[in-house]
Amino acid sequence: MLVKLAINGEKHQADVEPRLLLVHMIREVLRLTVTHIGCDTTHCGACTILMDGRPVKSCTVFAVQAQGKELMTVEGLEQNGKLHPLQEGFMAEHGLQCGYCTPGMLMTSYAFLKKHPSPTEDDIRWAISGNLCRCTGYVNIVKAVQHAAVKLAGGA
C-alpha cells in the first residue's frame, strides 16, 4: 500500500505492507535512524515522534495510519546547523547517559514546551512519565528541559 507523508517538512512516500510499524518505516525504509526502537511494547517511549504535533509512540502505530500526516523526528530539531535549545539543554545539563531514551525524551519535551512554556518541575516529570530512562538520569533530564524552557523564553 502506498503511504505518502511528510517528515520534518519533507515529503516521502513508500509502498509498504499494512502490518509495517511506523517506526520501522521511519528507520528502515526512509533511513531516518535517530528515532530509536526500545521496548517495542508501548512502554518506554524511545520511539516517540510527533504526528500532527502530538507525541505518539511510533512502535504502536501502523505506517499506513500515517497516510497524509505531518511527522516530526529529532532530525527536524536542528535548524540551519544550530541545535535546538532542548538539544543544547541535554548537552549542557548532561541530560543523557547511554542516550537510548534521548530521542523520545526530546520529542515529548518539544511538544510539551510548546503547550507549557514555563513549566514547574512537577509538570515536566508528569510530561515525561511515559518515557523511561533506564540509566534513571531523570534529575538531569528535568534540568535539561528547564534549561530549554528558559532559553526559549528568551532568557540567558
Q: Which residues bind other proteins (CB under 8 A)?
A: 1, 17-19, 21, 40-43, 45, 48, 54-57, 60-62, 64-65, 67, 108, 126-127, 129-131
CB of 18 to other proteins, least distance (A): 4
Nearer to other proteins, 7 or 128 (CB): 128
Distance CA 38, CA 76 (A): 20
The residue (of 18 and 117) whose beta carbon lies closer to other proteins is 18
Q: Least distance (Å) from other proteins to the CB of residue 82?
A: 27
CA distance 71 to 50: 5
Spatial distance between the Cα atoms of 146 and 86, rounded to a whole number of angstroms: 9
Query: How far apart are CB 17 and other proteins at their closest, in Å?
Result: 7
Contacts of 109 by beta carbon, 8 Å cutoff, 6+ apart: 86, 124, 127, 128, 144, 145, 148
Q: In the complex, what is the shortest distance from the CB of residue 91 to other proteins, in angstroms, rounded to a whole number?
A: 24
Task: Specify the residue, 27 or 57, whose C-beta has the smaller distance to other proteins.
Answer: 57
CA distance 16 to 75: 22
Would you say 77 or 105 has its CB closer to other proteins?
A: 105
134, 100 in Cβ contact below 8 A?
A: yes
C-alpha cell at 153: 523564553
